[in-house]
Structure 1
Amino acid sequence: MARMHTRRRGSSGSDKPAADEPPEWSDVDSDDIESRVVELAEQGYEPSQIGMKLRDEGVTGTPIPDVKLATGKKIGEILEENDATADIPEDLRNLMERAIGLREHIRENPQDYQNKRALQNTESKVRRLADYYRGDELEPDFSYNYETAKELLEK
C-alpha cells in the first residue's frame, strides 16, 4: 500500500517476535507494572514513552519487554481503568505540534514552498484524525484551527 501524500511505498520494518507469554527473566507482578504505568502517566509521559521507559528501566530494576504479555492489558487500557488518560490522544497531539511548528516556520520563511505543502498535508491529517476522534475522545463540536490547537497544547 502506498503512502498517503506521496506515491512511494514505505520500507518494511521489523516485526515483534511472536510470543504467548512473558520471558522467565521478567517476573514482575502485574499490579506493580500497572502502578508504575499510572505513576509515569501522572508524571506527564505519553503511552508510547511509558512503554519505552518500562522496556529500558523496568519496574524495580527488572525490564518489562511487553506490557500486554505481562499484564494481559495494553497501556491504554490500564490508563483508562485508572482515569489517567490525556485530554487529547497522543497521535493527534503530535500532529498538532508539528503543524504549529510548521506554521511558525512559514511565518519566518514565507518563500519555503516545500514546508507550505507539508503544512497542508499535516493539517489535512489533523482534520481527518479529529473527525475520527470527535464525539468519543474529543468534544462533539471540536474543529481544528491554529488558535485552538495552540490553546490546547499550552495546557
Structure 2
Amino acid sequence: MARMHTRRRGSSGSDKPATDEPPEWSDVDEDAIEERVVELAEQGHDPSQIGMKLRDEGVQGTPIPDVKLATGKKVTEILEEHDADPEIPEDLYNLLERAVRLRAHMDEHPGDAQNKRALQNTESKIRRLANYYRGDQIDESFAYTHERAKELVE
C-alpha cells in the first residue's frame, strides 16, 4: 500500500500467524484476562500498550499472545463493556499529540519548512480521521483546532 503523503510505497511487515485458537500453553481464564485488561486501562495504559503488556507480562505469569483469540473480543471491546474506554480513539489521540508537539516546534522555529509541511500533513490526517469517527466515537460537533487539541492532550 502506498503512503498517504509521499509518492513512495510503504515498507512491508510481518503478518500474524493464521490461527483460530490460542496456543495450548496459554490457558488463562477469559474473566482473568478481562480483569487484567480493565486494571491496566485504569492505570492509564492505551489499548496497544495493554496488548503488549499482556504479551510480555501476561496474566498470573502466563503470557497472552493474542487477546482476541483468548477471549473472542478485542481489547477495545472489553474496555467498552466495562466503561473504561478512552474518550477519543488512540490513533486520533496520537495524531493530536504530534500536532501539538509540531506546533510548539513551529512557534520556536518559524522558518522550519519541513516541519511546517509535517504539521500540515498531520492536521490533514486528523481532520480525515475525525470525519471517520464523528458520531460514533467522538461528538458530532468535534472540529479540530490547535487549542482544542492542546486541551485534549493535556
Q: TM-score with structure 2 length normalisation?
A: 0.98
Q: Which amino acid aligns with 1:143?
A: A
In 1: Cα distance, 2:22 partner to 2:140 partner:
40
| Counterpart in the other structure of 1:68 | 68
When the two chains are superposed, the root-mean-square deviation of aligned CA atoms in Å is 0.7
Identity value in percent: 77
**What does 1:40-119 align with in structure 2 at a 5 Å threshold?**
40-119=40-119
| Counterpart in the other structure of 2:23 | 23
Matching of residue 11 in structure 1 with residue 14 in structure 2: no
In 2: Cα distance, 1:57 partner to 1:153 partner:
28
In 1: Cα distance, 2:148 partner to 2:64 partner:
38
In 2: Cα distance, 1:136 partner to 1:15 partner:
29
Q: TM-score with structure 1 length normalisation?
A: 0.97
Aligned residues: 154
Structure 1 segments (4+ residues) deviating >3 Å: none
In 2: Cα distance, 1:103 partner to 1:116 partner:
8
Question: Deviation string for 1:16-58 (max 9, x for gaps)?
Answer: 1111111111110010000000110111111000000000000
Displacement of 1:111 in angstroms is: 1.1
Question: Deviation string for 1:105-140 (max 9, x for gaps)?
Answer: 111111110000000000000011111111111111
Identify unmatched segments of 5+ residues in structure 2.
Answer: none
In 2: Cα distance, 1:136 partner to 1:115 partner:
32
| Counterpart in the other structure of 1:136 | 136
In 2: Cα distance, 1:135 partner to 1:82 partner:
21
Identify unmatched segments of 5+ residues in structure 1.
Answer: none
